[in-house]
């Protein structure tokens, strides 16, 4: 091995050791007494109970049980998440450190950071609601622990050699890449929230008609059902880029939300860090841009790029309608 390879391997080993130690600390915290995370909540319940009459003491007991069950269930979800996505891989890698790559390090860092954040923010997900007449406490979770239900969003590799971590919804690549959502969308309004973990300064987010799937694989141009944006504000309509060059930069840590309104044949790109919202109407000719559509993501330049799909689903009004 060259001196460069030796130094690279040394750094990878050090990073792996740090990740393994953090994993061990996380496991210890998950298995420890979680009283610290809900002590303030229990104090609030106790104060309410002391001020209330006897008939609501039963409700206080129910609320305590709800909190303990909720936190226990969430803790168990976190434990399953860590065991199923990190523990086994780290044990295997510990035996064969020479096979560790930068992609492994990036993946484990994302997973550990997510689990640590969820553990530290358990109490902030709990709130109380009160019956207006007698103020009986009901325990609610303000926002459920994210991405621990093993929702999987599958991407299909079209071009390049991306590494897809489907359970973590991560796209990792070091060269120009095109991926498509495996799921198709024909009705309703759907959103897809991406976080840019590492950027190569040339990213495309948009949609393509499923009928052009083979045309995309065969690299035909232009594909008139492709609509979207390069770097937030350079539009692509009917497969053709605007002459306008993007003046905006996407930075590491930024989030981008792609919204597909199938019924209105319209897409939106939201850039929360700049409160910017762009929109494009899909071409009206159904022969050129017919449903169903797929989400299209392209990495245009070589270089290390890491994208994470952190949330997706139906817009609230659509979800309520389906229920």
pLDDT in tens, 206-260: 999 999 999 999 998 899 999 999 988 889 999 998 887 766 778 888 899 999 9
Residue 27 CB partners (closer than 8 Å, separation 6+): 82, 87
Query: Please, which residues have CB within 8 angstroms of residue 50's CB and are 6 or more apart in sequence?
Result: none
pLDDT beneath 70, residues of the chain: 1, 33-37, 52-56, 131-135, 142-151, 166-168, 246-247, 273-276, 316-323
pLDDT tens by residue, 170-198: 888 888 999 999 999 999 999 999 999 88
What's the pLDDT score for residue 142? 67
In the block, residue with structure tokens 């309520």? 320
* Rounded Cα–Cα distance for residues 258 and 6 (Å): 43
pLDDT at 29: 79
Closest CA to 107 of 85, 123, 124, 122: 85
pLDDT the model gives residue 158: 93
pLDDT at 49: 76
Structure token digits, residue 129: 């609601």
CA distance 193 to 173: 19
Of the candidates 131, 98, 167, the residue with the CA atom closest to the CA atom of residue 308: 167
Q: Which two tokens stand for residue 93?
A: 């890698």
Q: Of the candidates 67, 34, 74, 73, which has an alpha carbon nearest to the alpha carbon of residue 48?
A: 67
pLDDT at 202: 87
- The per-residue pLDDT for 34 is 64
Please choose, from the candidates 214, 183, 200, the residue with its C-alpha nearest in 3D space to the C-alpha of residue 314.
Answer: 183
Structure tokens at 243: 């002459």
Separation of alpha carbons 109 and 207, rounded Å: 30
pLDDT score of 132: 64
Tokens standing for 24? 């061990």
**Which pLDDT score is estimated for 51?**
76
For residue 320, the model assigns a pLDDT of 37
Residue 305: name the closest of 150, 179, 181 by CA: 179
Tokens 């497969």 identify what position? 239
Helix (H) or strand (E) holding 94: helix 88-95
How is residue 263 annotated by DSSP?
Answer: T
How far apart (Å, rounded) are the C-alpha atoms in residues 313 and 35? 34
pLDDT score of 319: 38
pLDDT at 167: 63
Alpha-carbon torsion angle 210, 212, 216, 222, nearest 10? -130
pLDDT confidence of residue 54: 66
pTM of whole model > 0.85? no
């Amino acid at each position: 091995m060259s001196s460069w390879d030796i130094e690279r391997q040394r750094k990878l080993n050090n990073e792996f050791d740090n990740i393994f130690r953090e994993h061990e600390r996380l496991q210890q915290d998950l298995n420890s007494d979680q009283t610290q995370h809900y002590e303030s909540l229990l104090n609030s319940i106790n104060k309410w109970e002391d001020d209330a009459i006897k008939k609501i003491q039963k409700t206080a007991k129910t609320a305590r049980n709800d909190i303990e069950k909720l936190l226990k269930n969430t803790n168990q979800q976190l434990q399953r998440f860590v065991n199923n996505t990190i523990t086994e891989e780290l044990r295997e890698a510990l035996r064969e450190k020479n096979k560790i790559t930068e992609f492994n390090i990036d993946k484990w860092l994302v997973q550990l950071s997510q689990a640590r954040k969820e553990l530290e923010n358990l109490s902030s997900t709990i709130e109380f609601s009160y019956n207006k007449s007698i103020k009986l406490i009901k325990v609610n979770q303000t926002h459920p622990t994210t991405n621990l239900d093993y929702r999987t969003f599958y991407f299909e590799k079209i071009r390049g050699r991306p590494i897809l971590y489907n359970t973590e919804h991560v796209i990792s690549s070091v060269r120009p890449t095109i991926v498509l959502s495996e799921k198709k969308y024909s009705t309703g309004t759907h959103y897809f929230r991406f976080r840019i973990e590492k950027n190569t300064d040339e990213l495309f987010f948009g949609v393509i008609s499923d009928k052009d799937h083979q045309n995309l694989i065969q690299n035909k141009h232009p594909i008139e059902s492709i609509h979207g944006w390069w770097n937030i504000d350079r539009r692509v309509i009917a497969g053709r880029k605007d002459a306008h060059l993007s003046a905006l930069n996407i930075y590491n840590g930024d989030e981008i939300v792609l919204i597909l309104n199938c019924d209105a044949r319209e897409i939106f790109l939201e850039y929360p860090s700049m409160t910017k919202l762009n929109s494009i109407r899909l071409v009206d000719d159904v022969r050129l841009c017919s449903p169903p559509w797929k989400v299209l993501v392209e990495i245009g330049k070589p270089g290390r790029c890491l994208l994470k799909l952190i949330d997706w689903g139906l817009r609230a009004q659509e979800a309520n309608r389906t229920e």
